[in-house]
Each structure stands twice: as structure tokens, then as C-alpha cells.
Amino acid sequence: MSKYSAPIKLTLRGVPPSLNRFAGRKNTWQYRAEKERWTNAVQWAIKAQGCKPPEPFERAAVTISYYFPDARRRDPDNYSGKLLLDGLTRGGVIVDDSFRHITLTVTGAVDKKSPRTEIIVRGVESS
């Protein structure tokens, strides 16, 4: 049983862009701007929801669920959470977003009325 009983749940309006939007293109500044935008959105959600743990989780299970506005085909590898995980680190929820510190699960569904991104972080015992 983990010493961290209550998971942290963040809800962000909208869904970050697919990494395909940036791969192999010469739009570095656009990528940096989007990355900063979503990293900041995660940090603000942590603050607004008052869910920062007393200490960042050394080990955590992170689940990112995307609720898209339509049922177009999307590949999970293009929504790996890259634009979001740095926000969890900067916001003091996790120590780092490397394999050593997190396990990551990514899911997708459709919600035409309320497209959003939900992030759940559960602290787990170090192995």
C-alpha cells in the first residue's frame, strides 16, 4: 500500500496538439510556445486546485486521459504527454518525468461537449 492515499487529479480545458504537428518541420518557435503554454497550464491547475503534495513524488503512476472534440483517428504516441509532464515537474508534483520516476498511461475518448485533458497522479512506493 502506498503512503500517498489520495491521487492528484488535474483537469485542463482542451487537448494539446499532436506531436505530428511539429515533427520534422521548421517551426521550433511554435513548438516552444505550445510547450510553454501547456506546461504553464499544468502549473496553474496545480495552484488553482491546491493539490501540490508536501514533497514531490519520487515515484508516481501518471495517467493522462484526452477527451477529444471528435472521433477522428489519433495515435497514442502522438499524445505521449510531452507537453504536460514538465508542468508536473515544475509544479512540484513529481521529482522528474523519466522512466526512473514515473510510469505513464495514456488514454483517449470523445466528449464533443467538453473536450479536455485529465491528469491523475498517484504516488507509489519506490522499488
The domain that holds 30 is classified in CATH as 3.30.1330.70
Residues of the chain with confidence (pLDDT) below 50: 1-2
110 located within any domain = yes
Residue 73's pLDDT is 93
29 located within any domain = yes
The DSSP result for the chain, as a single string, is --S--SPEEEEEES-PPPGGGTTTSS-HHHHHHHHHHHHHHHHHHHHHHT---SS-BSSEEEEEEEEESS-----GGGGSSHHHHHHHHHTTSBS-SSTTTEEEEEEEEE-SS--EEEEEEEE----
Owning domain of residue 46: 8-123
Domain count, the chain: 1
33 located within any domain = yes
Residue 30's pLDDT is 82
2 located within any domain = no
3 located within any domain = no
Q: What does the pLDDT look like over 97-111, one tens digit per residue?
A: 999 999 999 999 999
90 located within any domain = yes
Residue 8's pLDDT is 95
Question: Dihedral (C-alpha) 124, 50, 98, 38: value to the nearest 10 degrees?
Answer: 150
